[in-house]
Amino acid sequence: MEDINKLKVSPKAKIEVNWDVLPVDYSREAHQRIIALMSKKYKIPTKNIKVIPNFIKYNEKGEEVSYQTEVIDNIQDPNFQIKLFKEYIELNNIKDVDFDKIIQIDKEINSKINFDSYTKFKQYEIQWIEWSNFLSYGKDNRFDFTKLKGLVLLEGDPVNFAGKTTFAVDLLHFLLFGTTTKTDRLDKIFNKYLVDETQVVVKGCIKIDGDFYIIERILNRPKKRTASSKATQEVKYYKLLNGKYDPNEPLEDYDIKNEQDEYSIKTNKVIKEAIGDERNFDLAICANSANLFDLIEMGDTEKGRLFNKWIGLLPIEEKDKLAREKYNKQILPSFVSRIYNRETLNQEIDEYQKLISETKVNILSNESLLKESEAKIVEFEKEKEVLLSNKKNIDETLLKLDIITENKKLENIKNEGTNKRAQLNILNSNIEKYKHLKDNSDVIKKENENLLSIHIKISDLANKINNIITEYSNKSKNINNEYINKINNSKTELNNKINLLKKDYEILVNENKSKLTLLEKENEGLIALGDSCPVCGAKYDNKPKINSNEQEIKILKDKISELYKEYDVKSKTLNNEYEIKIKELEEDKNNIIIKLDLEENNLVNELTEEKKALNESLNALKSKIESLEIDQENFKKCERDIILVEKTKVDIENLLAQHREITRLLKEYEVNKDLIDKNNQLDISINNINVRIKTERDYKENIIKIIQTHNNNILAYNKEIELRNIRIEKISEEENIDRAWKVYLEMVGKSGISKLILKNILPIINLNLYTLLDGSCDFQVVISLTENNTIAFNVIDNETKIVTDLSGCSGYEKTASALALRISLSSISSSAFPRPQFIVLDEILASVGADNLPKIKNIIDQMLAKYDFILLIAHGEEEKNWCTQRVLIKRDENNISHIEIR
């Protein structure tokens, strides 16, 4: 092979350099430096030199592997994440950490993560779709996506509201997820112009890893609908076998829900694993003027999360959240070191050991005192034995005898004997006085019965008197009420007669007043006419008539006055008659009541006299009973005194016997007095010795207790030392655990393996962006990781090298960058972010000037390398001319959309 250093290259030649490089070693400066070196060496323009980096990585065996294959495709695998942990620890030179503990922590966290939701998504292709009555469309529509290739124009007739977005986005969205962007109500998905239709059907075929699946969604609504009518949804899934499927054998039981469940029907597991969730699908299927710049303009947190989703770092993000929650809520609170520290515990151990040494010294001192005390007790016992041997034998009774006490007893016995004899004389006198009395308890009982009988009679008489008073009181009330009613009736009768009389006279008065009024009006008319006719003017005299009327008027007035007088006289007469009648009724009532009162008083007085006689008998009987009871009490006392006489005699005999015994003992004591005194002196000495022995023994027992307490304290101190050693050992273990947790949290946090991966992936993404934009734009898009670990999108002007934030750039720059970002990210995230075989570009070029459209066309052409076809919704003629196929959606005169390929 010819030596590369001796190669001769034409100045017009083009050179392509394949550069094997680690992602962390890649930079734009190094890239440009290689181009400059090649240009200098081979004397060719830099524009003719293309450097293609090949990002590599070395596996555990030291073999060179692709970073895409080794890292990106495996990032969601927990086993591969362990390798990343090792790499991070080695790279950051982290020491003194138990990696087995980190693996254990990772297993605990992994157990709480559903890795199935993060597993590699399968590739899928939408084959065809059939639909009826969906939004603006009518019955029996079908579209085959396999017939589309390249850049396909999706146009409408009319230009707007033909149903383009409904077909390109909502139709597929409803097929897969049961929802649309147009409405959140099932009944609104029906074509509003087809009011008689009761069913919406959307059926589609999806190819997933070579297998074909059918999804069928059906909406039903009643034929006759009211305001409360609801639409229901059902979904079925089938798998094609040899191009066929049995509609009676779905993959799984389908479900039926109403719109209150907010489209809870979702795709089955196989389809969901391929397409991901709704957000994944919306991001993958369509770029429009509303969402094209989302990735550029969203906040740092949301941007970072979306970036992590594209790359596949969401499991690491979830690990970080779960691990921090467990560390803060379970691990840290359980640490002994939150309460204790090693230094304090060691100081406490030293203090306890010092206490043990001091206590042992105290034990030795107290043991010496114990021996001294035991020796003293022996000496005291010997002294006591000597004193006991000197005592003389004397009758115990005499030894215990207290002369003063015994003399006092003799005096008390004499006094008590004198009292007993006096008491005996009194008793005998009482017996003599009442011995004639007999037991009269039966007589007393009989007289008490008589007393009770009189009480009953008196009570009966009192009741009779009360009954009479009540009876006559009621009679008086009834008589009073009866006459009140009669008087009231008379008053009512009087009022009625007066009212009738008044009405009669009012009639007569009114008749005369009417005549009087007519005559007065007639005269007023005659006076008003004068002496000639107002019609013909003839003269006539009306004075006679006026005079005649005036005389009649006077007669009528006199008659009316007379009627009033007659009424007054008659009404007064009636009032007088009834006043006399009422007065007579009052007198009758009073007479009857007086008579009743007299009868009542006679009856009550008679019974009262009888009651008085009974009360006198009652008082006499009470006096008799009191006298009988006094005699009965004296009789009983006499009987008790007879018994007491006998007892008193016995007491006197006992006192005499005691007197004789005490006198004898006192005589014997006088005989043995000297010996007793000597023994008493010895007893005093012996008692003193006993006190000293007891005191010394108590002192000895106290010393023993002190020694025992010291021994117990030593045991307690040793237990405290043992407890603190255990805590120190636990703290050491916890430090290792805490160290492992902190390293783990560091690794799963933003600055850990995610940052390590991003640092390695960003050069790859930036290279893709450079390749996509090179030749089409006069700027570069660079994604970088800030010091705060946030994602930043910057634009570098190729000429001035000025760096600006992408979000502040022009519409063309943002459009070109957004498309390039989608292509670049999707090229590295096929396993982490699913996408179909096409994308919809819905009116994304509105902010791009005409002179920049060809540059956008170059980027779209590069996008076609990633898709089977692209559906372009655009209105400019230049954009339309880019397309190799056209799909027309036309809305007819009945507002029904139809679709066809041209």
CA atoms 473, 477, 482, 486: torsion sign: positive
For the segment 636-662, the average pLDDT, to the nearest whole number, is: 82
Whether 464 and 356 share a structural domain: no
Joined tokens for residue 71: 């890292």
Phi, psi of 220 (to 5 degrees): -125, 145
Instruction: Give the pLDDT score at 578.
Output: 82
CATH of the domain at 608: 1.10.287
Whether 450 and 358 share a structural domain: no
Whether 614 and 689 share a structural domain: no
Look at residues 852, 842, 784, 762 and name the one whose alpha carbon lies nearest to residue 814: 852
Helix (H, G, I), strand (E, B) or coil at 439: coil
> Is residue 713 very low, low, confident or very high in pLDDT (cuts 50, 70, 90)?
very high
pLDDT for residue 865 is more than 80:
yes
Domain count for the chain: 3
Instruction: Give the pLDDT score at 267.
Output: 43
pLDDT for residue 265 is more than 70:
no
pLDDT for residue 261 is more than 50:
no
CA-to-CA dists, residue 867 to 23, 143, 504, 555, 871, angstroms: 27, 18, 120, 131, 10
Q: Which long-range contacts (CB under 8 A, 24 or more apart) does 638-646 make?
A: 638/430, 638/431, 638/434, 638/435, 638/437, 641/427, 641/430, 641/431, 642/431, 644/423, 644/427, 645/424, 645/427, 645/428, 645/431
pLDDT for residue 503 is more than 70:
yes
pLDDT for residue 463 is more than 80:
yes
Alpha-carbon distance 264 to 252, whole Å?
A: 16
Lowest mean pLDDT among 45-54, 350-359, 459-468: 45-54
> Is residue 859 very low, low, confident or very high in pLDDT (cuts 50, 70, 90)?
confident
Instruction: Give the pLDDT score at 358.
Output: 92
3-state per-residue secondary structure call for 410-426: HHHHHHHHHHHHHHHHH
CA-to-CA dists, residue 309 to 60, 76, 118, 277, angstroms: 27, 11, 9, 12
pLDDT for residue 523 is more than 60:
yes
Instruction: Tell me the pairing of strands 869-873 and 141-144.
Output: unpaired
Alpha-carbon distance 646 to 635, whole Å?
A: 18
Lowest mean pLDDT among 1-15, 218-232, 347-361, 414-428: 1-15
Instruction: Give the pLDDT score at 119.
Output: 56
pLDDT for residue 695 is more than 70:
yes
Query: Longest Cα pair distance anywhere in the chain, in angstroms?
Result: 187
For the segment 9-17, the average pLDDT, to the nearest whole number, is: 76
CA 419 to chain centre: 90
pLDDT for residue 24 is more than 80:
no
Kindly state whether residue 453 falls inside one of the protein's structural domains.
yes
Whether 356 and 472 share a structural domain: no
pLDDT, one tens digit per residue, over 389-408 is: 776 666 666 666 677 887 88
Alpha-carbon distance 294 to 306, whole Å?
A: 10
Phi, psi of 732 (to 5 degrees): -65, -45
Whether 368 and 516 share a structural domain: no
Mean pLDDT of all residues belonging to the chain: 82
At which of 601, 625, 649 does a domain end? Answer: 625
Lowest mean pLDDT among 185-189, 248-252, 330-334: 248-252
For the segment 196-200, the average pLDDT, to the nearest whole number, is: 93
Kindly state whether residue 480 falls inside one of the protein's structural domains.
yes
Look at residues 305, 418, 387, 311 and name the one whose alpha carbon lies nearest to residue 72: 311
pLDDT, one tens digit per residue, over 131-172 is: 999 999 999 999 999 999 999 999 998 888 888 889 988 999
Lowest mean pLDDT among 41-55, 175-189, 255-269: 255-269
For the segment 602-628, the average pLDDT, to the nearest whole number, is: 85
Q: What is the DSSP string of 610-673?
A: HHHHHHHHHHHHHHHHHHHHHHHHHHHHHHHHHHHHHHHHHHHHHHHHHHHHHHHHHHHHHHTH
CATH of the domain at 21: 3.30.429
Which runs of E-coded beta strand occur in 89-198? Answer: 124-132, 141-144, 150-157
Instruction: Give the pLDDT score at 805.
Output: 85
pLDDT for residue 249 is more than 90:
no
Kindly state whether residue 385 falls inside one of the protein's structural domains.
yes
- Of residues 781 and 262, the one with the higher pLDDT is 781
Instruction: Give the pLDDT score at 258.
Output: 37
Residue 393 DSSP symbol: P
> Is residue 828 very low, low, confident or very high in pLDDT (cuts 50, 70, 90)?
low
Which residues are registered as beta bridge partners of 129? 143, 204
Could you tell me the residue range of the domain that residue 356 belongs to? Answer: 342-391+678-724
pLDDT, one tens digit per residue, over 298-307 is: 777 777 777 7
Q: Which helix (H) or strand (E) holds 502?
A: helix 441-529
Express as a percent the part of the chain with pLDDT over 70: 87
pLDDT, one tens digit per residue, over 748-762 is: 888 888 887 777 778
Alpha-carbon distance 177 to 262, whole Å?
A: 11
Lowest mean pLDDT among 26-30, 725-729, 847-851: 26-30
Whether 599 and 719 share a structural domain: no
Instruction: Give the pLDDT score at 729.
Output: 92
With tokens 């050992």, the residue in question is: 729
At which of 26, 47, 70 does a domain end? Answer: 70
pLDDT for residue 532 is more than 70:
no
Which value, to the nearest 10 degrees, does the dihedral of the CA atoms of residues 27, 29, 35, 41 take?
-120
Kindly state whether residue 328 falls inside one of the protein's structural domains.
no
Whether 715 and 606 share a structural domain: no
Joined tokens for residue 495: 């009022």
Look at residues 824, 818, 819, 814 and name the one whose alpha carbon lies nearest to residue 859: 819
Whether 525 and 589 share a structural domain: yes
CA-to-CA dists, residue 103 to 70, 92, 99, 370, angstroms: 21, 18, 6, 64
pLDDT for residue 832 is more than 70:
no
Lowest mean pLDDT among 145-159, 476-490, 563-577, 632-646: 632-646
For the segment 278-293, the average pLDDT, to the nearest whole number, is: 74
Q: Where are the alpha helices (DSSP H) in 138-263?
A: 164-165, 171-177
Whether 699 and 606 share a structural domain: no
Look at residues 113, 313, 100 and name the one whose alpha carbon lies nearest to residue 749: 313
Kindly state whether residue 716 falls inside one of the protein's structural domains.
yes
Alpha-carbon distance 831 to 829, whole Å?
A: 5
Instruction: Give the pLDDT score at 395.
Output: 63
Instruction: Give the pLDDT score at 706.
Output: 92
Look at residues 840, 795, 807 and name the one whose alpha carbon lies nearest to residue 822: 840
Using CB atoms within 10 A of its CB, is residue 593 exposed (0-12), middle (13-18) or buried (19+)?
middle
pLDDT for residue 70 is more than 60:
no
> Is residue 6 very low, low, confident or very high in pLDDT (cuts 50, 70, 90)?
low
For the segment 22-39, the average pLDDT, to the nearest whole number, is: 76
CA-to-CA dists, residue 99 to 319, 497, 533, 535, 798, angstroms: 17, 126, 145, 142, 47
Kindly state whether residue 605 falls inside one of the protein's structural domains.
yes
pTM, two decimals, is 0.52
Cis? peptide before 158, omega within 30° of 0: yes
- Of residues 278 and 615, the one with the higher pLDDT is 615
Whether 562 and 682 share a structural domain: no
Kindly state whether residue 549 falls inside one of the protein's structural domains.
yes
The contacts of residue 735 (CB under 8 Å, 6+ apart) are 337
Kindly state whether residue 733 falls inside one of the protein's structural domains.
no
Instruction: Tell me the pairing of strands 49-58 and 141-144.
Output: unpaired
CA atoms 505, 507, 508, 514: torsion sign: positive
Residue 121 DSSP symbol: P
Whether 579 and 501 share a structural domain: yes
pLDDT for residue 589 is more than 80:
yes
For the segment 636-640, the average pLDDT, to the nearest whole number, is: 81
Instruction: Give the pLDDT score at 645.
Output: 81
Look at residues 897, 889, 893 and name the one whose alpha carbon lies nearest to residue 873: 889
pLDDT, one tens digit per residue, over 83-107 is: 888 888 888 888 888 889 989 988 9
pLDDT, one tens digit per residue, over 435-447 is: 787 878 888 888 8
Express as a percent the part of the chain with pLDDT over 90: 16
At which of 70, 99, 114 does a domain end? Answer: 70
Alpha-carbon distance 875 to 154, whole Å?
A: 10
Phi, psi of 865 (to 5 degrees): -65, -20
Whether 465 and 589 share a structural domain: yes
- Of residues 642 and 252, the one with the higher pLDDT is 642
Residue type, 655: L
Q: Where are the alpha helices (DSSP H) in 341-440?
A: 342-389, 396-400, 403-434
Alpha-carbon distance 202 to 139, whole Å?
A: 11
CA 747 to chain centre: 37
